[in-house]
A = this chain, B = another copy of it.
Amino acid sequence: MRLLRSLQSLAMTATTMKYPASIQNLIDHFSKLPTVGPKTAERYVFYLLKAHPEWLQAFAQAMAELKEKTTVCQTCFTIAETNPCSICSDSKRNRSIICLVADTRDLLAIEATKQYHGLYHVIGGVINTIENIKPESLNIKPLLNRLKQPQIKEVILAFNPDFEGETTSLYIVKLLKPYKIKITRLAKGLPMGADLEYADEITLGNALKYRNEM
């Protein structure tokens, strides 16, 4: 009983620390960021308290201006500084091919390979029944509108090779069937630097199934 009471008071301790209101307010904001708990938020705020005031002001300003200085391209739905974005308005890009990605980060990852010169369409997530992300909440309707343009010959599905990515791919393939457009998806196989001995069965199975002639 004594132990129980002590443990209860210990648990209380963690929640009754009283910071000055301005510090607590900032801790509360940081705590909302993904994977950030109150202790990590505290550490961030105490780092900022010691940081150079000008740098801190620049940080706050960058945050305040984030949404003002960015927009969503109304053609491909990527986050960009202009609408249409620099890719959609670039006349050198191949306008016969559209690569579908879940979000802007995936688009940038593909751009970084410098291997792709077509257009994109950011659908804004993947279908996920647990997180209640339904097809209706994704940018799929505007995609179907884009596909009415006769110059489009191919759509590449570039979603993560996981359950949600596969579900989304299958859903879109079904929708695109009537359009008579070539549908491809990113190759599956072994990642660079992989060790056969430690590769999971599905990856190794894919590597065998989709083997290339040399």
- Give the interface of A toward B (CB within 8 A): 3, 6-7, 10, 13-14, 16-23, 25-26, 29, 32-36, 40, 42-49, 51, 53, 55-67, 69-70, 79-81, 103-105, 108-109, 111-113, 192-193
Q: Residue A108 contacts which of B3, B6, B18, B65 (CB distance < 8 angstroms)?
A: B18
A51 to B66, CA, bound (A): 11
Contact B112 A66 (CB under 8 A): no
Chain B, Cβ-Cβ closest to A15: B112
5 A-B residue pairs with CB within 8 Å: A16-B112, A20-B81, A29-B59, A33-B48, A49-B67
Task: Quote the shortest CB–CB distance from A3 to chain B (angstroms).
Answer: 8
What chain B residues lie within 8 Å of A26 (beta carbons)?
A: 59, 62-63, 66
A169 to B26, CA, bound (A): 32
What chain B residues lie within 8 Å of A58 (beta carbons)?
A: 29
Task: Quote the shortest CB–CB distance from A89 to chain B (angstroms).
Answer: 14
Chain B, Cβ-Cβ closest to A68: B22
A45 to B144, CA, bound (A): 30
Further pairs besides A17-B111, A20-B80, A56-B64: 13, Cβ < 8 Å: A7-B192, A10-B192, A13-B112, A19-B108, A20-B70, A21-B81, A22-B62, A23-B70, A35-B40, A42-B105, A46-B105, A49-B70, A56-B63
A45 to B34, CA, bound (A): 10
A63 to B21, CA, bound (A): 12
What chain B residues lie within 8 Å of A14 (beta carbons)?
A: 112
What chain B residues lie within 8 Å of A69 (beta carbons)?
A: 20-22
Contact A63 B67 (CB under 8 A): no
What chain B residues lie within 8 Å of A109 (beta carbons)?
A: 13, 17
**Interface hub of A44, A51, A60 (most chain B Cβ within 10 A):** A60
Task: Quote the shortest CB–CB distance from A47 to chain B (angstroms).
Answer: 5
A108 to B14, CA, bound (A): 10
Task: Quote the shortest CB–CB distance from A21 to chain B (angstroms).
Answer: 7
Q: A63-B26, A64-B61, A79-B23 are in contact. Are A113 and B13 (CB under 8 A)?
A: yes
